[in-house]
Structure formats: structure tokens, C-alpha cells
Amino acid sequence: MISTQIEDACQILGKNDLVGIPTETVYGLAANAMNELAVSKIFDLKKRPSYNPLIVHIGHMDDLEKYTQNIPEKAYQLAKNFWPGPLTLVLERKPLIPDIITAGKNTVGIRMPNHPVTLSLLKQLDFPLAAPSANPFKSISPTTAQHVEDYFGNKLPLILEGGPCEKGIESTIIGFENGAPVLYRLGSISEEAIEEICGPLNYIKTISKKPLAPGMLAKHYAPKTPTILTEEISPSILDNYKEKKIGLLFFKKANCYDSAYSIEILSKKAHLEEAAKNLYTAMHRLDKLKLDVIIIEKLPNTGLGKSINDRLERASKK
């Protein structure tokens, strides 16, 4: 059920059940992060493997030191500049964080989301929220309450309505090795913006079955429809799929307006921020058309274009 009643969400979460919540990045599937039974319901509903850790969402800056320890100075600098906002910090956890959140690791991902509904919710709770994206494991992330409803229906007691997500792709994840910042996941804050605050980043892009942070698996964010990522949507590529139902996804303009194709354009003005906001919604629309294939043209690999291309590469992975 989609609702605007934060009080109802508080009651459901207090009973260790799940609630869909809006954030500025994507909608999350939230549970009391301090209760293992509640958190286990996230893994069950998403069919998410237990080796994939979760992010803890907090509503107060002081909560950073409540749940993590031995915090590097650069982590404080990043939090000061980007919180509340789409930045997750992977830090040494305190013992009160349950193992189920961290997949047994001694670190935990933590962030303060920048959405008025969820910030209000967090400030009314006496516990933080574990909240991965509110979608089945590896599926397209949800950026509206309706996307969440379409995925889970009555399996989810409540979805808080917060409108379309402003950023549209997940948070950037930064960890630390010997105090030096490490980029674990590209996201809604560009690599360049992070480096302006903390200096050069080492980017760890793993396909391990034991990821250091969420969003690091090789295949993720994927439509059900077979998906191809290409540098350019050319006539020769389209010729490979003659007599097929084809969906095309472009950054700023379509090279072909043939009515035979279902076409989505992320930003007619070529704004990367707008493209990020529209990405998952466009993918959801194409995926509902029962196409034979979705062909996607890569974006410029700069700024947020890197983050969008990262999602597209994982979405199109075999």
C-alpha cells in the first residue's frame, strides 16, 4: 500500500516489519537495522544473498560515531560536505551493528539520505534503518513508489510516497584503507567531486561473490529483457535484429526515429544529471513493453556519465 503516513511507517518498523522508503537516489526497502529478524526479512523479500552487505541509514550526524569507530579524518570531511546526501561511507563498525548487516565484515556502509520524508521518519525512530534498493535482487532499481508496488504488491505492508527520486541512481560508496579513501561504487556524486574534497581515489571494481560494499557484483540493475550496451547504435547493429521488437535508449538524441522502434531519450539537453534521474524510469518503461532486446548507447564517460555507464555495463552483463 502506498501512503504518506509517516506515523504508520514508524509503527510498522517498530514491529520489525518492512517499509518502502523514498530517498534522493532510489527507493529503499527499510527495516530496523538493530534487529536481525527484521533485517532477515529484507534478504528474504529481495532474494538477496547473505554475502551482500547492506547500508545503514541515519538521521543525525552524531549517529556516525554511535555506530562506527576509528573514523578517518577524510571521512569526516566527506560527511561534512555531502551529508545529508548520496554518499555512503564504509567504516569500521561498532559491535552493536549486527553481523547480518555487514555479511560478517568488520566494516559497515552508513549514510544520511537527503529526502524530507525519510529524514523525518529517521528522526522519529530510535534506531537506524537498513535499506537496500526496494527491488528483487539484480533487477532495475525503483525510482517511484509505483515501481516498488509493482515489484512487491501486498508483500510489503507500506510504501511511503515521496515522489520521483531526485538523483535517480544509487549513492557513491567510499571506503578507507590505512586512512586513504577508496571508491567502491560510482554513484550520484561524481568521482571528480569526491576528489575535490579528499584527493585522488583508488577505484576497486570487483566481481567477487563477497563484495566489500553493495553494488559491486558484475550483474546488477538489470531488465528482464535481454540488454546490449554499445558505443553507438548504428544501422549495422540494428540489422542484427531484423524482425525483432527493439527498444533503444539514447543519451541526448536518437539517430533513428523509425516508428518500428521503442525509443527513450535520457536528456534532450544533454544534461548528465537529468540523464541519471531518468535512467531507471526509462529502463522500467522499456522493460514493460515485452521487447526482444533493448539496445543502449553509452554516455560520455565523464562526471556522472561514468556512474551511468557503470549501471549500464552491469545491467547488460550476460
The full set of domain ranges for the chain reads: 2-203, 227-315
The full DSSP string for 258-276 is -TTEEEEES-TT--HHHHH
The pLDDT value given to residue 251: 95
pTM above 0.85, yes or no: yes
Domain at 227-315: CATH architecture: 3-Layer(aba) Sandwich (3.40)
The pLDDT value given to residue 254: 75
In the predicted model, what is the mean pLDDT of the chain? 93
> pLDDT digits over 65-99, tens only?
999 999 999 999 999 999 999 999 999 999 999 99
> pLDDT digits over 272-284, tens only?
999 999 999 999 9
Distance (Å, whole) CA 1 – CA 140:
20
Amino acid identity of 271? H
Which of these, 106, 133, 111, lies nearest to 47 by C-alpha position?
Answer: 133
| For range 151-176, the mean pLDDT | 96
Across 32-41, 227-236, 285-294, least confident range: 227-236
Question: Taking 70 as the threshold, does the pLDDT of residue 209 lie above it?
Answer: no
The pLDDT value given to residue 157: 95
The CATH class given to the 2-203 domain equals alpha beta
